[in-house]
Structures are given as structure tokens and as C-alpha cells.
Amino acid sequence: MAGFWIYGEWAEDDFHPVVYELLGVARTLAPRLGQRVVVVTLGPEDRKTGVEKVLSYGAEEVLFLVHPELDYFRDDLFGRLLGDMVRERRPEVFLFGATSEGQALAPRIAGELGLGLTAHCTAFEVDEEGRLVQIRPSFGENIMAKIVSRTRPQMATVRPGVFPKAEPGEPRGRVEEIKLAALPPSALVRRAVRPLPRVENPLTRARVVVAGGRGLQSKENFAQLFELAELLSGAVGATRPVCHLGWISEEHMIGVSGVSVAPKLYLGFGISGALQHTVGIQGAETVVAINIDPEAPLMKQADIAVVGDARRILPALIRRIREIKEGKNGSGS
């Protein structure tokens, strides 16, 4: 049977956005691997018309496991059912979004079947041996690693927001419905769901992101980023070290352990540019780096690199932009 499988995480009334992103990845890679694109999903019967949607986004088949009690995610149960499907159909590739669900599920399947799994890939290649080369930042240092798996399916997770969504087209393929008579036992029962106050992180949709790193030297200097963000109607981002230093809370963290951003303009103040951070700004259109060290990795990859002390340039920039906004001096344009 084989196939290039994508886990079809369901979110209320449609697939999770990351599924469409994975379909974009699959469209490029699956033909080169000689595989069909299959979205595998689990749920109650009434999702039938909903799951057809991906057939217009590059899925050649939807494998739909149906049972009324599959209406919410249970780690052990979903892991077991998908593990059985993998054993039976032997896909070549199985990709998951690195959502809380995907990150709970993919390693369960890997553990049950003894498979390799690569977390948080930021790029893929197909090598001359027809293997899926999984690329991810490595060891928290400034190197990327190319990883292959000796086992099949080749499994990997991808963070939401890293790849562009597949474009819709003419629908093709079909839904294969597999009605399950009984479910294997599960140790989990959902009791309640409560919305959390902050539903969406403003960073992921911001047009302008102003981010700071250790080069800003203090929490007080870092706090000035909020002033700049307000002037530019943007959001404040941070590197992992400054979150750990307590200068700002972790929701502001950009990178492997945080969120990915795709603004028109990204300004990085005193950020050296560890890969852990920069993989999260791949989608930024214009990157400006402000750093005392012209050799810093972020300076090398910036569209505009400003050499100087971020602590002094930040307030100067705030003053200059405020002048313009207040119409005092427009000579810069």
C-alpha cells in the first residue's frame, strides 16, 4: 500500500491549519518519493463531509477511521489505532504537526513500533537513495543536522507556521471509510474542557515584530521594546535566554521552543542569532539586526544590519519614529 501519510488532526469543524501546511510539503516531496499523499484521520461519522475538504488541497486519499467514541483525542487509544494502521498499510512517510496533539501522538507510535522520529523539522530533501532527509536545528547550537531514519515509515514532526499552506485546486481522490466495530481499551476519559484566557498569540499574526536578546543587557532596556512595538503597531518577541532570565514571559519566545513568526518587518535588538531563535523567523520578509558584533549570525542574514550598541540605538530609534509620527520632522522620507 505504502503512501506519504499526514496525520489529520481535527480542530472543531475543520482540520488543524498545520494539516494544510503539511499538504504543501507533501505535494513537493511525495512525487519524488513515488508515493501517494494520504491524510489519516479519526473521528465520528458526522465528520465525513468535513474530512473531504483536503481532497482539494493535494490529498489523494483520506483514510478515515470511524467510531462514535473517537470524538476527542486520547493518546493511548489514537496511538494504538494508528500503530495498527501503520503495521497493516506500511506507509513510507508519516508526518505530524508539532501541536500538543501531534507531539503527544507521534512519539507514542514511534515507541510502540520501534521507529525513528525527528522533531521539529524545518526543511526536507530527498536524497539519491530515495530517502527523506529531515533537516532540523541541532543541539541548541548554530548547526543544522540532516537526519535519515533506518525504519519505515520515516516519521517527523513540523511546527505550525513553518511551511506555507497548500493552495486549493480541483478535488481528486476519495475518502476510504473504515468503520471500527469496537475500540481497544483506553486509560483516559475526558472530563472537561476550559478555554484559557489567551487564545491566540499576537506574535504569530503581527505585521511587525520587535525582538530582543541578551545584548540588551537588562530587563529595563528590554522593556523599551514595548514602546517601540506600540509605535509600530507590532508585537514583542524574545530569545530563549531572556525568557529564562525572566525579562519577559515565555509566550513571547520565538524559535524552536517558542512560536514561529512571519511579519513584514522583524527587528532584532542585541540578538546574536542562535538557530534556536532564527528558525522561528524564517518567514519574516525584511530582517533588521542591531548588534555590536558585525560577525553575529543574525547580522550575517539580515537585510539591514546595524552595527552598534542595541541599548543605545533602541531609544534613539524610538525618539526618531515618535518625531515622525508626531509630524515634527519628516525629512527622513
Binding residue ranges for FAD: 214, 239-240, 270-277, 291
Q: Which 266-295 positions form the footprint of other proteins (CB under 8 A)?
A: 275-276, 286, 288, 294
Q: By CB under 8 A, is residue 147 in contact with other proteins? A: yes
Q: By CB under 8 A, is residue 32 in contact with other proteins? A: no
Query: In terms of DSSP bridges, do strands 117-118 and 235-238 run parallel, antiparallel, or are they unpaired?
Result: unpaired
Place of cell 537526519: 147
Q: Which 77-96 positions form the footprint of other proteins (CB under 8 A)?
A: 79
Q: By CB under 8 A, is residue 317 in contact with other proteins? A: yes
Q: Which is nearer to other proteins, 71 or 75 (CB)?
A: 75
Q: By CB under 8 A, is residue 321 in contact with other proteins? A: yes
Q: Cβ of residue 107: shortest distance to other proteins, in angstroms?
A: 4
Residues binding other proteins: what is the number (CB under 8 A)?
A: 88
Q: Which is nearer to other proteins, 38 or 302 (CB)?
A: 302
Question: Three cell numbers at 199?
Answer: 487564545
Sole binder of other proteins in the list 2, 27, 56, 142 (CB under 8 A):
142
Residues of the binding site: 214, 239-240, 270-277, 291
Q: Which is nearer to other proteins, 62 or 124 (CB)?
A: 124
Q: Cβ of residue 104: shortest distance to other proteins, in angstroms?
A: 5
* Contact of 228 with 318, CB cutoff 8 Å: yes
Q: Which is nearer to other proteins, 63 or 77 (CB)?
A: 77
DSSP H or E segment with residue 65? strand 61-66
φ/ψ (deg, to 5) at 61: -160, 145
Sole binder of other proteins in the list 14, 71, 227, 309 (CB under 8 A):
309
Taking alpha carbons only, the member of 4, 51, 2 closest to residue 25 is 4
Q: By CB under 8 A, is residue 140 in contact with other proteins? A: yes
Q: Which is nearer to other proteins, 23 or 288 (CB)?
A: 288
CA gap 51, 176 in Å, rounded = 11
CA gap 99, 9 in Å, rounded = 9
| DSSP letter (8 states) at residue 87 | H
CA gap 84, 72 in Å, rounded = 19
Q: Which 213-232 positions form the footprint of other proteins (CB under 8 A)?
A: 232
Q: Cβ of residue 81: shortest distance to other proteins, in angstroms?
A: 14
CA gap 41, 47 in Å, rounded = 10
Place of cell 465528520: 47
Q: By CB under 8 A, is residue 304 in contact with other proteins? A: yes
* Contact of 281 with 295, CB cutoff 8 Å: no
Taking alpha carbons only, the member of 82, 92, 74 closest to residue 112 is 82
Q: By CB under 8 A, is residue 303 in contact with other proteins? A: yes
Phi-psi region at 124: left, alpha or beta (left = phi > 0; alpha = psi -120 to 50): beta
Q: Which 233-262 positions form the footprint of other proteins (CB under 8 A)?
A: 240-241, 244, 250, 256-257
Exposure letters 304-332 (e unless 16+ CB within 10 A, then b): ebbeeebbebbeebbeeeeeeeeeeeeee
Site string for other proteins, 96-135 (x = CB under 8 A): ---xxx-xxxxxxxxxx-xxxxxxx------------x--
φ/ψ (deg, to 5) at 196: -95, 150
Question: Three cell numbers at 320?
Answer: 526618531
Site string for other proteins, 51-70 (x = CB under 8 A): --------------------
